[in-house]
Structure 1
Amino acid sequence: MIEYIRQVVLPQFGINAANASISRLGNGHINHTFLVADPTRKMVLQRINTSVFTQPEVVVNNAAKVSQHLLAKQKVNQYLLQVVSPVLTESGELGLNLGEQGFWRAIDYLDNSHTVEVVTQAHQAEVAAYAFGHFASALSDMPEDSIVDVIPNFLNLPQRFSQLTLAMSGDAHNRLSSCQQWADFVLSQTDVLHLLADFEAKLPKRICHNDTKINNMLFDKRDMSSMAIIDLDTCMLGYLMYDFGDMVRAFCSPEPEDSINLTHVYARPEIIVSATNAYVNALSSVITPLEKQSLWLGIKVMALMLGTRFLTDYLNGDVYFTIEHSQHNLHRAMNQLTIYQSLLKQESQLLPLFS
């Protein structure tokens, strides 16, 4: 793929391939991402997974609109982070459709940027949570109809339960016996569905990031302050509880997302407290009392939902998430569902934080 990028893709973005270096970047589950550098500039090049994002043109158009909105906010000092903007092709397009060879797009690379995969201290959670809250606050006045849903029902827990049930009933890859107890546990959590439906009926919808993992917030490696929110592919209408919940479930464990050292996988309360206070503070002029109450449910739902998605993909033969070995999705599912169980055990202790 590297040679194809050098010969075919880079010239379309005005890069002299002979003088460019190309290296893989990050560990995303969905797209293929590369850092491209020549003597004059650096950029991030991505091949968008069109099995997941079936309308890649919509994806890049949405991201460009979000970037434009943030830049306008930045100019009047209402957005204090850097903004990652698209790099246009030589013909002025946001993306490059090469048919069977994929849909490609490029975005700015920010010098001195640094990503964190696992939160090691409460201060990191505080910095990142404030940045994600600041991002959500800046988007709070962006017209709802300005962007298009790229993955309908992306955060739909009842549908994820249904997909798991279907995968279990077919068991096309004879894997159910290796994860029956985890699948049964997921399907026992129907009380969450009723509570979720009640909240969703009352909460305002907002344009949300929808993938608020710690590695989608860039730190400035010079002082470890917040630099930028990246990966705008899933920016869609949604609820703050999901953005917050995905962020905290990704922050709170001391182990990586695929660790099966389950005795060390748990939701660290000090991380949850730091992230909650920072996020709510950043959104103080926007967030409603009911939205604040919903944030705890959001953490639980996102850990349960991601665990369910990993488990479903494992049963379906690993057709969605990129894997490194045959048990990878199962290990991820076990990890996330263990976080969910840890949250349940600490509910009485942590719930007052959200009142």
Structure 2
Amino acid sequence: MEQKLREIASSFALEGRVTAIDSLGEGFINDTFIVRTEAGAPDYILQRKNQYVFPDVPAMMDNIRRVTEHIRRGVIAAGGDPRREVMTVVPAKDGRLYHIDGDGQYWAVSVFIDDTTAYNKADSPELARKGGEGIGKFQAQLADFTEPLAETIKGFHNIRHRFVQWDEALARDAAGRKKELAEEIGWIESRRTGMLDFWSKVEDGTIPTRVTHNDTKINNILFDKQGEVLCAIDLDTVMNSPSLNDFGDAIRSYANMGDEDDRDLSRVGISLEMFRAYTDGYLSQRAKQLTDAETDHLAFSARYITYEQVLRFLMDYIDGDTYYKIKYPDHNLVRTHAQYRLLQSMEGHYDQMCRIVAKTADKYRKA
């Protein structure tokens, strides 16, 4: 395997001789490796892009290039370090931003930013606040980016589109599992109208569309050794969508007291302390840029994105586990139950969440 990876890496415009290639992380979607090079040259991140999830890899890579170049210009103008404060895409030797191997698989490379810290989970309010600051900073850096971006995943976070997929999945019942899921299907259907009502505000422009990351787990933010935000990474899903999507997805990840696939549902629920901390970090960067409609719906966005994730995990389970990587046969069903428990907790604490957002936004708008 390493010999094949070396051959793929050699197709890119790397500096220095490759000394080793090792697996890195356990991503749901892509296969990721770190390419080590001789002293004096940078190391690199090599990724096999999942074409099932990203059917148009060239368009995705063009999105990443344009967004990172825009951020890089801003970092330079502010006197920052563009080698560390923004992701750097490395082209293939033929000038394209990707390489296609002999099996038709797409690969991409970026510069590995060394001397950094990454976290798999926000385990303190201080870290949650920094995470909010990181995503808020990323969005703020792109507030004046006006070029349209390709929709690399059709209907991503578009609940009307998800319901089309959902209805089709129920009709297919590809894995023959629907008959055992009446309760779980009921969870989805009982909230359909409310979620569509929210999405209609995006469709009519009440909630504006901006540039968003769309995968705001804390391990997609790099920190320096002093704990300060450096940059956002893993930009495969960067697209035009409501800013609320990033906030809601982050809360789903950061403020959950349990794990995304926790079998012990007694541990799952929203931590208002973590919610407050993330909200503070995020709005420290964005409070003066967001419209009133966006601010008013920040708390609801956490419910919206968590609901969507319940739907997507359950839909994948019904479809026979074709989208998310699983570690055991009912993994997607376990994820479904854990995310639903989190959604219930958010619904129970919703009024408190709204008050936290309003108070925090007011603080930073007056600052």
Q: State TM-score, norm by structure 1.
A: 0.93
Determine the structure 2 residue equivalent to 1:60.
61
My pick for the range that moved more, 66-75 or 327-336, is 327-336
Determine the structure 2 residue equivalent to 1:218.
222
Determine the structure 2 residue equivalent to 1:77.
78
Report how far residue 101 of structure 1 moved: 4.1
Secondary structure at the counterpart of residue 33 of structure 1:
strand
2:203 is equivalent to residue 204 of structure 1:
no
Query: Does the aligned pair in 2 maintain the 1:117–1:256 contact within 8 Å?
Result: no
Q: Structure 1: how far apart are the matches of 2:297 and 2:109? A: 36
Q: Structure 1: how far apart are the matches of 2:118 and 2:334? A: 23
Determine the structure 1 residue equivalent to 2:192.
190
> Alpha carbon RMSD of aligned pairs, Å?
2.0
Q: Structure 1: how far apart are the matches of 2:36 and 2:239? A: 31
Q: 1:312 to 1:99 in 2, by over 3 A?
A: farther
Q: Report the AA paired with residue 321 of structure 2.
A: D
Determine the structure 1 residue equivalent to 2:361.
none
Report how far residue 177 of structure 1 moved: 4.2
Q: Report the AA paired with residue 157 of structure 2.
A: L
Determine the structure 2 residue equivalent to 1:5.
5
Q: 2:166 aligns with which of 164, 167, 184?
A: 164
Q: Structure 2: how far apart are the matches of 1:111 and 1:207? A: 27
Once the two structures are superposed, the pairs formed by residues 75-154 of structure 1 within 5 Å of their partners are 75-77=76-78, 82-98=85-101, 100-145=103-148, 147-154=149-156
Q: 1:314 to 1:31 in 2, by over 3 A?
A: same
Report how far residue 13 of structure 1 moved: 2.0
Report how far residue 176 of structure 1 moved: 2.5
Q: 1:290 to 1:101 in 2, by over 3 A?
A: same
Q: Structure 2: how far apart are the matches of 1:18 and 1:68? A: 27
Q: Structure 2: how far apart are the matches of 1:92 and 1:286? A: 37
Aligned-residue identity in percent: 27
Q: Structure 1: how far apart are the matches of 2:79 and 2:192? A: 41
Determine the structure 1 residue equivalent to 2:332.
329
Q: Structure 2: how far apart are the matches of 1:259 and 1:285? A: 37
Report how far residue 264 of structure 1 moved: 0.2
Structure 1: state its 5+ residue gaps: none
Report how far residue 294 of structure 1 moved: 1.4
Q: Structure 2: how far apart are the matches of 1:342 and 1:79? A: 41
Determine the structure 2 residue equivalent to 1:255.
258
Q: Structure 2: how far apart are the matches of 1:349 and 1:154? A: 28
- CA distances 1:108-138 after superposition (whole Å, capped 9, x unpaired): 1111222222221111110010110011011
Report how far residue 349 of structure 1 moved: 2.0
- CA distances 1:167-226 after superposition (whole Å, capped 9, x unpaired): 233322122244332221111112422431343120111111111111111122x22222
Report how far residue 19 of structure 1 moved: 4.7
Determine the structure 2 residue equivalent to 1:24.
23
Once the two structures are superposed, the pairs formed by residues 254-273 of structure 1 within 5 Å of their partners are 254-273=257-276
Q: Structure 1: how far apart are the matches of 2:285 and 2:193? A: 31
My pick for the range that moved more, 303-312 or 248-257, is 248-257
Q: 1:78 to 1:152 in 2, by over 3 A?
A: farther
Query: Does the aligned pair in 1 maintain the 2:265–2:338 contact within 8 Å?
Result: yes
Q: Structure 2: how far apart are the matches of 1:255 and 1:34? A: 28
Report how far residue 99 of structure 1 moved: 5.1
Q: State TM-score, norm by structure 2.
A: 0.90
Query: Does the aligned pair in 1 maintain the 2:158–2:199 contact within 8 Å?
Result: no
Secondary structure at the counterpart of residue 100 of structure 1:
coil
Determine the structure 2 residue equivalent to 1:229.
232
2:176 is equivalent to residue 174 of structure 1:
yes
Q: 1:178 to 1:225 in 2, by over 3 A?
A: farther
